[in-house]
């Protein structure tokens, strides 16, 4: 069984084709960037080397056509799997039929950077690959069984009920991957674990014996720890103050929260942590404060999740930042000795994926993980396909 996994961004597309019965071998991989711009880019891995070419992709349709034309002709595609983000009243692993697409559309306003491009791309796949099942694994699924005290907001109950407003949580594929990975690594299924998925978009999850019991993102992806250009937790009355007293329109505030905040907004330098860290090292005070605020937010959640879990065995770091930034890990874990968290600075600086970077004798083990969201989605899609229908998890 061959499963094509596609990650869709507003101007990008990434793909991997897995041969599931052949050791989950990656048959083909690549992607498109700058979709919609005058000049787009298409890249793919060929015999271990990345090759790229300039193309014109006015929409995702042309990028998808190019990708399909580059898949090895002798290989079939049994299904296309997507790491879909959000849908009203729907989660788990689903065949992407009209009902599920309508449920995604109903949450376009709470996932504006994610749902519209996914919907557009899924419709193009339907047109270009008729008869091939399209399966979505929702990023909310891993958090679907959080206890009510973690998932409910203190708004009037009628609003929660009528409008499905509660904490959903995201990055489920990555948190699930790190949870399973840590259980296998330690040989324990009863771990109290805090999973830190830190990329352009990031969240932390408290996991008790494999189950998500709390997570930092909510109804939307606009809360929790700081993001590259999106807001973290803020006082909701800042919004009313900006509109009622500071002359901004509600639309301007929305755009500010979605695209001009986070590391970019605080530092004024970049939405890429590498640039912000570099500026901080060169003496830029705003950039240094942005990194400090970012890591302080992570530290606060680690402390509160240790309390929520009633103990702590493992912390995992994954995603572009979690995997690569020794500075972020060091600052976020500094002073957490009271929870039994002892980082080894040397191991931290030289960490590779899979490493334990805790000091000998640390009660809590700290792992850097090469999280693999695509394989999680591929396995779920394969399971649904073998079972011959939609399933809810």
Residues forming the site for ligand ADP (CB under 6 A): 199-201, 228, 272-274, 277, 319-321, 324-325
Task: Report the DSSP pairing between strands 2-8 and 13-19.
Answer: antiparallel
Shortest distance (Å) from residue 215 CB to ligand ADP: 16
Integer Cα distance of 202 and 223 in angstroms: 10
Shortest distance (Å) from residue 273 CB to ligand ADP: 3
CB of 325 or CB of 358, closer to ligand ADP: 325
237: DSSP letter? H
Contact assessment for residue 215 and residue 221, using Cβ atoms and an 8 Å cutoff = no
Shortest distance (Å) from residue 248 CB to ligand ADP: 27
Integer Cα distance of 303 and 297 in angstroms: 10
> Which residue lies nearest ligand ADP, judged by its C-beta?
320
Alpha helices in the chain (DSSP H): 60-70, 98-105, 115-128, 148-151, 157-163, 172-186, 237-244, 250-259, 262-267, 273-281, 285-309, 319-324, 326-333, 345-349, 373-387
The tokens describing 62, both together, are 């042309």
Integer Cα distance of 178 and 367 in angstroms: 9
Closest CA to 357 of 391, 384, 332: 332
CB of 4 or CB of 280, closer to ligand ADP: 280
- Cross-strand bridge partners of residue 333: none
Shortest distance (Å) from residue 320 CB to ligand ADP: 2
Integer Cα distance of 175 and 194 in angstroms: 9
CB of 179 or CB of 371, closer to ligand ADP: 371
Shortest distance (Å) from residue 163 CB to ligand ADP: 28
Q: What would you report as the CA-atom Rg of the chain, rounded to the nearest whole angstrom?
A: 21
Shortest distance (Å) from residue 60 CB to ligand ADP: 17
CB of 324 or CB of 348, closer to ligand ADP: 324
CB of 220 or CB of 325, closer to ligand ADP: 325
Centroid of chain to Cα 116: 17
Closest CA to 373 of 106, 154, 176, 133: 176
Integer Cα distance of 132 and 118 in angstroms: 17
Shortest distance (Å) from residue 201 CB to ligand ADP: 5
CB of 67 or CB of 321, closer to ligand ADP: 321
Integer Cα distance of 198 and 200 in angstroms: 7
CB of 231 or CB of 309, closer to ligand ADP: 231
Shortest distance (Å) from residue 391 CB to ligand ADP: 27
CB of 79 or CB of 290, closer to ligand ADP: 290
Beta-carbon contacts of residue 149 (< 8 Å; ≥ 6 apart): none
Residue-by-residue DSSP string for 251-299: HHHHHHHHHS-HHHHHHSS-SSHHHHHHHHHTT-HHHHHHHHHHHHHHH
Shortest distance (Å) from residue 113 CB to ligand ADP: 11
CB of 104 or CB of 276, closer to ligand ADP: 276
Closest CA to 224 of 149, 148, 170: 170
Shortest distance (Å) from residue 322 CB to ligand ADP: 8
CB of 133 or CB of 199, closer to ligand ADP: 199
Contact assessment for residue 96 and residue 206, using Cβ atoms and an 8 Å cutoff = no
CB of 124 or CB of 324, closer to ligand ADP: 324
Shortest distance (Å) from residue 200 CB to ligand ADP: 3
């Amino acid at each position: 069984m061959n499963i094509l996994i596609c990650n869709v961004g507003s101007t990008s597309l990434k793909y991997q084709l897995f041969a599931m019965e052949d050791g989950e071998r990656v048959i083909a991989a690549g992607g498109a960037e700058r979709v919609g711009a005058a000049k787009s880019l298409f890249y793919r891995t060929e015999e271990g080397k990345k090759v790229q070419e300039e193309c014109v992709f006015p929409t995702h349709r042309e990028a998808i056509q190019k990708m399909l034309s580059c898949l090895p002709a002798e290989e079939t595609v049994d299904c296309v799997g997507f790491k879909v983000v959000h849908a009203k009243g729907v989660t788990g692993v689903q065949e992407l039929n009209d009902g599920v697409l309508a449920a995604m559309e109903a949450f376009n306003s709470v996932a504006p950077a994610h749902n519209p491009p996914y919907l557009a791309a899924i419709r193009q796949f339907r047109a270009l690959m008729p008869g091939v099942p399209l399966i979505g694994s929702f990023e909310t699924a891993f958090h679907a069984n959080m206890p009510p005290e973690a998932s409910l907001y203190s708004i009037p109950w009628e609003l929660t009920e009528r409008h499905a407003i509660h904490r959903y949580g995201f990055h489920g594929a990555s948190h699930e991957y790190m949870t399973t990975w840590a259980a296998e690594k330690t040989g324990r299924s009863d771990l109290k674990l805090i999973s830190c998925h830190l990329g352009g978009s990031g969240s932390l999850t408290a996991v008790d014996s494999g189950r998500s019991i709390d997570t930092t993102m909510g109804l939307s992806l606009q809360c929790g720890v700081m993001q590259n250009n999106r807001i973290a937790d803020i006082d909701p009355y800042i919004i009313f103050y900006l509109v009622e007293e500071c002359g901004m329109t509600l639309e301007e505030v929305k755009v500010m929260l979605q695209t001009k905040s986070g590391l970019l907004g605080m530092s004024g330098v970049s939405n890429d942590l590498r640039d912000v860290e570099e500026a901080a090292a060169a003496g830029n005070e705003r950039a240094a404060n942005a990194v400090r605020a970012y890591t302080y937010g992570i530290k606060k959640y680690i402390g509160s999740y240790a309390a929520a879990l009633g103990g702590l065995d493992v912390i995992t770091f994954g995603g572009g930042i979690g995997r690569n930034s020794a500075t972020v890990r060091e600052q976020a874990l500094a002073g957490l000795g009271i929870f039994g968290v002892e980082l080894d600075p040397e191991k931290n600086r030289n960490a590779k994926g899979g490493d334990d970077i805790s000091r000998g004798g640390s009660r809590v083990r700290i792992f850097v993980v090469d999280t693999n969201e695509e394989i999680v989605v591929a396995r779920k899609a394969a399971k649904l396909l073998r079972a011959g229908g939609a399933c809810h998890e």
